[in-house]
């Protein structure tokens, strides 16, 4: 997949406010601060397209970007940040949950996991939920520049073991770094291989 253009469309807080679901869409989700917005910028080669921050909770809305004037890439708010209150957690579950389960044109979600973290409950609860709902997803281990390849192999093996306790097989899995660009080709290839184009409704 060659990225020729990337343009911000809009921020939404409800499914019904999102752009029309008439094009293939890929969405990025994961814990606050895991690097969703940075990964999007790295993929499309634009430093400041999606807003990033070292303070967790930066992305609070569903943000749609159109790529090659052809398909959507979506930045979702993060979940599971320890300092977030129960009520804002419920809010996330409500509006992001609605988006994830009802957005018909969503081809795949990317669930981002910090490469330095052992398996964490919110991530696997979330992936189990996706499994129950039959929503396709891939895992991305982010910030791989912050860890040695040996340690990363160990972390990933722990994640795979954890996942295989409940799952029969593992989802597509990528390793990324927004600093070095690692994973860019592989993730764009996955998008190219899975994308389906929608006939625009008359
Ligand atoms: P929220 O929108 O708050 O949920 O966060 P997010 O998941 O969009 O994370 P964001 O992309 O804003 O990145 C959070 C912090 O991690 C920022 O300080 C980034 O610079 C840093 N970061 C993101 N990706 C990488 C990476 O691959 N390597 C390194 N070293 N830092 C990264
Ligand atoms: Mg963000």
The per-residue pLDDT string of the chain (202 residues; one tens digit each, 9 = 90 and over) reads 999 999 999 999 889 999 999 999 999 999 989 999 999 999 999 989 988 888 777 677 899 999 999 999 999 988 776 556 666 667 667 778 889 999 999 999 999 999 999 999 989 999 999 999 999 999 999 999 999 999 999 999 999 999 999 999 999 999 999 999 999 999 999 999 999 876 555 5
| 28, 36 contact by CB (below 8 A) | yes
Ligand closest in space to the Cα of 77? 1
* 133 vs 114: CA distance, rounded Å: 24
Contact 96 CB / ligand 1 (< 6 Å): no
CA 137, 182, 62, 16 dihedral sign is negative
Ligand 2 midpoint to CA 200 (Å)? 30
* 155 vs 111: CA distance, rounded Å: 16
Range 6-199 classified under CATH 3.40.50.2000: no
The domain limits of the chain are: 6-199
* 191 vs 2: CA distance, rounded Å: 11
Reading phi first (left if > 0) and then psi (alpha if -120 to 50, else beta), residue 30 is in left
Ligand closest in space to the Cα of 142? 1
Contact 29 CB / ligand 1 (< 6 Å): no
| 109, 27 contact by CB (below 8 A) | yes
pTM of the predicted model as reported, rounded to 2 decimal places? 0.93
Burial of residue 185 (number of CB atoms within 10 Å: 0-12, 13-18, 19+) = exposed
| 148, 180 contact by CB (below 8 A) | no
Ligand 1 atom with least separation from CA of 81: 4
Residue nearest to atom 14 of ligand 1 (CA): 33
Ion ligand 2: protein residues whose beta carbon lies under 5 Å: 36-37, 58-59
């Amino acid at each position: 997949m060659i990225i020729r253009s990337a343009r911000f469309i809009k921020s939404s807080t409800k499914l019904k406010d999102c752009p029309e679901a008439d094009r293939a869409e890929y969405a990025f989700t994961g814990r606050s601060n895991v690097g969703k917005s940075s990964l999007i910028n790295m993929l499309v080669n634009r430093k400041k397209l999606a807003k990033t921050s070292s303070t967790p909770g930066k992305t609070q809305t569903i943000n749609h970007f159109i790529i090659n004037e052809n398909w959507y890439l979506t930045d979702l708010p993060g979940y599971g940040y320890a300092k977030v209150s129960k009520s804002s957690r419920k809010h996330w579950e409500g509006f992001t949950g609605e988006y994830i389960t009802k957005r018909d044109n969503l081809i795949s979600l990317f669930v981002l996991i910090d490469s330095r973290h052992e398996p964490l409950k919110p991530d696997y609860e979330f992936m189990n939920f996706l499994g129950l709902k039959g929503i396709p997803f891939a895992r991305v281990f982010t910030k791989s520049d912050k860890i040695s390849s040996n340690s990363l192999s160990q972390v990933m093996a722990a994640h795979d073991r954890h996942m295989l306790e409940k799952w029969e097989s593992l989802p597509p899995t990528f390793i990324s770094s927004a600093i070095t660009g690692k994973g860019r080709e592989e993730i764009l290839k996955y998008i190219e291989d899975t994308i389906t184009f929608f006939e625009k409704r008359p």
